[in-house]
């Protein structure tokens, strides 16, 4: 995943798709769980995680600070390589015991054009 992403899906539509077991009026949905088009690291994001043997929607802060970090302010990690996820101490315990599904349906990539200017493109799966 990159440094910014998009969530266009409405939470009430996800409840049925993921068997979350609740119905919600759109007016009761927190602003962080509503569709957003420029979600950045350290913001609150919608995730689905297991709790008490059932899938639950939660709002979590995007970024990882490992439970064992004790001194000073750590650099918050937002990306990890899947190939080394279980080997790196920074991610190892979290991926084994505290997984979650980050709800996103698009992400931004920045590339340089022929003039060297950074151009942003939204990448997403085609509907259907």
- Residues 26, 100, 109, 127: which is the catalytic one? 109
d(CA 125, CA 117): 26
Location of structure tokens 């539509």: 13
The conformation of residue 19, written as its DSSP 8-state character, comes to T
d(CA 21, CA 61): 23
Residue 108 pLDDT exceeds 80: yes
The conformation of residue 16, written as its DSSP 8-state character, comes to H
Q: What is the pTM of this model?
A: 0.74
pLDDT confidence of residue 35: 85
Residue 79 pLDDT exceeds 70: yes
**What's the distance, CA 75 to chain centroid?**
18
- Residues 2, 23, 83, 87: which is the catalytic one? 2
d(CA 11, CA 33): 7
pLDDT one-digit tens code per residue, 9-25: 877 777 778 887 666 66
Which two tokens mark 99?
């997984």
- Ranges of beta strands (E only) in 1-128 are 5-7, 36-39, 44-51, 54-61, 101-102, 106-112, 118-123
pLDDT confidence of residue 1: 46
2 is catalytic: yes
**Whose CA is closest to 65, among 54, 57, 73?**
73
pLDDT one-digit tens code per residue, 29-52: 777 778 888 899 889 988 888 888
Which two tokens mark 42?
């350290």
Q: Which has the higher per-residue pLDDT, 80 or 22?
A: 80
**Whose CA is closest to 3, among 71, 80, 78, 56?**
78
**Mean pLDDT within 48-60:** 86
């Amino acid at each position: 995943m990159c440094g910014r992403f998009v969530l266009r899906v409405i939470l009430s539509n996800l409840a049925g798709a993921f068997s979350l077991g609740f119905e919600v009026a759109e007016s009761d949905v927190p602003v962080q769980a509503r569709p957003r088009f420029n979600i950045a690291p350290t913001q609150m994001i919608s995730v689905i995680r297991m709790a008490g043997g059932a899938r639950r929607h939660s709002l979590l802060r995007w970024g990882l600070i490992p439970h064992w970090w004790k001194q000073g302010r750590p650099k918050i990690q937002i990306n990890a390589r899947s190939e080394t996820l279980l080997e790196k101490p920074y991610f190892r315990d979290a991926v084994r015991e505290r997984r979650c599904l980050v709800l996103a349906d698009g992400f931004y990539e920045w590339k340089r054009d022929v003039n060297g200017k950074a151009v942003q493109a939204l990448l997403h799966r085609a509907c259907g």
